[in-house]
C-alpha cells in the first residue's frame, strides 16, 4: 500500500466507526485531494487485499476484520482524553476513602459510561486471599450482616435471616472463635477448617451447631465464589450499539456475559494493552476485547473493555492506558 491508500483505509475505518454507514468515494475527495475515480480504484485495491468489504445496500465500503487489525497495528493513534472525562477519572483516583480495587472498579464503570461499551475488572481469585476478620452486625432480633474482610482489603457483606432455632448470640460467639482460630487462613481452605477445627469446638457450646455451621459455610462460600471476582461496568451498554438490534444477537451476547467461566478467560498477565478483534479473542467472534493486566503493591488483576468490532479503538486504548499508568505509578 502507498501512503494515500493507507490514509484512505484510516479514514474509512474512523468514518465507519463514527457513522455506522458505508463510506463512499465522494465523501473523501476533499480530505484526500484526489478524484473520486482514484479513490474508487484505491478502494477496489484495498478490497482485494481483504481490508475493505462492499455491502449489498451501498456502493460504499466498510472495514473488514483484517482492515480493523491493520488499522490498529499500523494506522491508529491514541486519542486525547477530553478534559471533563479526565477530571472525572482523577476525582475517583484521588478519593482517599476508596481502596485501590474499588477505585479501579469505579473508573471502569466510568469508562463504560464514556464509551457505551462493557467494561470488566477481573481480580485474582478471592479464594487465594486470606481472612483478616469476620464481623457479625445485628440489624434486628432475627437479621444480621456478616462482613468478611481479606488481607487485601477486599470486603464482602452478606445479609441473613437467623433461623428461629438459634440466637444471634450463638452466631456472635462462633464468630469470635473463628476470628481467634482462622485469621490468615486462605479463603479456599476456610470451609474445610470450619468443619474439622471450629465445629468440634462449638459442638460443646452450641446446641444447634449444625445450623450455625451452615450459616458460616454459606457466608464464606458466597464471598469466595461470588462472580469469582468478576466486576462489570455497564454490563448491558454494549446493547446500545447498532450491531445488537436483533433479539437473537442480544440473547447471544447476554448469555456470554452471564457465563462467568467464559468471562474469566479474558484474564491476562500481559502488561501491555492488547487488542483482540473478532476471531482473535476467545469470548465472541463478533466483538473486540481490549485488555491489560495491572499490579499495585502485589494486588493483581485484569481490566478489559468489550465492544463491537466497530470500536473506537483510539479512545479505549487512551482511557485504559491512562488508568493503568495512574494506578501503577
Q: Classify residue 284 by burial, with Cβ atoms within 10 Å: 0-12, 13-18, 19+.
A: middle
**Which run of H or E residues covers position 253?**
helix 247-257
Last residue of a domain, one of 186, 210, 227: 227
94 and 212 part of one domain: no
Q: Residue 46 in contact with residue 67, Cβ under 8 Å? A: yes
Number of domains in the chain: 3
Q: Residue 206 in contact with residue 176, Cβ under 8 Å? A: no
Q: How far is CA 247 from CA 251, 254, 258, 288, in A?
A: 6, 11, 16, 20
How far apart (Å, rounded) are the C-alpha atoms in residues 182 and 60?
66
284 and 201 part of one domain: no
140 and 283 part of one domain: no
- 297 phi/psi in degrees, rounded to 5: 55, 40
Q: What pairing do the DSSP bridges indicate for beta strands 131-138 and 118-123?
A: unpaired
Q: Which residue has the cell 462493557?
A: 118
Q: Residue 173 in contact with residue 181, Cβ under 8 Å? A: no
Q: Tell me what pLDDT residue 227 has.
A: 42
271 and 318 part of one domain: yes
97 and 122 part of one domain: yes
Q: Angle between the 3-19 and 36-48 helix axes, to the nearest 10 degrees? A: 90
How far apart (Å, rounded) are the C-alpha atoms in residues 186 and 200?
20
Last residue of a domain, one of 39, 59, 75: 75
How far apart (Å, rounded) are the C-alpha atoms in residues 136 and 146?
5
CA atoms within 13 A on the CB side of 42: 25
pLDDT by position in tens, the chain (length 329):
999 999 999 999 999 999 999 999 999 999 999 999 999 999 999 999 999 998 876 678 999 999 999 999 999 998 999 999 999 999 999 998 887 888 899 999 999 999 999 999 997 655 567 899 999 999 888 889 888 888 877 777 888 888 888 888 899 999 999 999 999 998 878 889 999 999 999 998 888 889 999 888 888 876 665 545 788 999 999 999 999 999 999 999 999 998 888 998 999 999 999 999 999 998 999 999 999 999 887 778 899 999 999 999 999 999 999 999 998 88
Beta bridge mates, 130: 186
Domain limits at 285? 83-126+228-327
**Which run of H or E residues covers position 101?**
helix 100-115
Q: Tell me what pLDDT residue 241 has.
A: 95
Q: Tell me what pLDDT residue 328 has.
A: 87
How far apart (Å, rounded) are the C-alpha atoms in residues 303 and 285?
20
In sequence order, which ranges of 36-82 are alpha helices (DSSP H)?
Answer: 36-48, 65-70
298: nearest Cα among 81, 166, 129: 129
321 and 236 part of one domain: yes
CATH of residue 139: 3.30.390
- What is this structure's pTM? 0.71
How far apart (Å, rounded) are the C-alpha atoms in residues 225 and 215?
16
CATH of residue 19: 1.10.10.10
Amino acid at each position: 500500500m502507498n501512503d494515500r491508500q493507507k490514509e484512505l483505509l484510516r479514514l474509512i475505518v474512523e468514518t465507519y466507526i463514527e457513522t455506522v454507514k458505508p463510506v463512499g468515494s465522494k465523501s473523501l475527495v476533499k480530505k484526500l485531494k484526489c478524484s473520486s475515480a482514484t479513490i474508487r480504484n484505491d478502494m477496489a485495491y484495498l478490497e482485494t487485499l481483504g481490508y475493505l468489504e462492499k455491502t449489498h445496500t451501498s456502493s460504499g465500503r466498510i472495514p473488514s476484520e483484517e482492515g480493523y487489525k491493520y488499522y490498529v497495528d499500523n494506522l491508529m493513534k491514541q486519542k486525547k482524553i477530553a478534559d471533563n472525562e479526565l477530571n472525572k477519572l482523577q476525582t475517583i483516583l484521588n478519593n482517599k476513602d476508596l481502596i485501590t480495587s474499588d477505585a479501579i472498579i469505579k473508573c471502569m464503570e466510568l469508562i463504560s459510561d464514556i464509551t457505551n461499551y462493557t467494561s470488566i475488572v477481573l481480580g485474582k481469585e478471592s479464594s487465594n486471599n486470606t481472612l483478616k476478620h469476620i464481623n457479625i452486625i445485628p440489624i434486628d432480633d432475627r437479621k444480621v450482616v456478616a462482613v468478611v474482610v481479606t488481607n487485601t482489603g477486599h470486603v464482602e457483606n452478606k445479609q441473613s435471616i437467623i433461623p428461629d432455632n438459634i440466637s444471634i448470640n450463638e452466631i456472635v460467639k462462633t464468630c469470635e472463635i473463628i476470628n481467634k482460630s482462622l485469621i490468615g487462613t486462605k479463603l479456599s481452605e476456610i470451609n474445610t477448617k470450619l468443619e474439622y477445627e471450629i465445629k468440634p469446638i462449638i459442638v460443646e457450646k452450641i446446641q444447634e451447631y449444625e445450623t450455625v455451621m451452615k450459616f458460616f459455610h454459606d457466608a464464606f462460600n458466597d464471598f469466595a465464589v461470588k462472580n469469582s471476582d468478576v466486576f462489570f461496568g455497564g454490563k448491558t451498554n454494549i446493547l446500545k450499539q447498532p450491531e445488537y438490534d436483533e433479539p437473537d444477537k442480544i440473547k447471544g451476547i447476554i448469555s456470554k456475559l452471564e457465563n462467568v467461566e467464559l468471562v474469566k478467560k479474558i484474564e491476562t498477565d500481559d502488561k501491555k494493552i492488547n487488542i483482540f478483534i473478532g476471531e482473535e479473542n476467545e469470548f465472541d467472534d463478533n466483538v473486540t476485547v481490549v485488555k491489560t493486566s495491572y499490579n499495585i503493591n502485589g494486588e493483581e488483576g485484569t481490566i478489559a473493555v468489550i465492544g463491537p468490532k466497530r470500536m473506537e479503538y483510539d479512545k479505549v486504548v487512551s482511557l485504559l492506558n491512562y488508568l493503568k499508568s495512574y494506578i501503577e505509578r
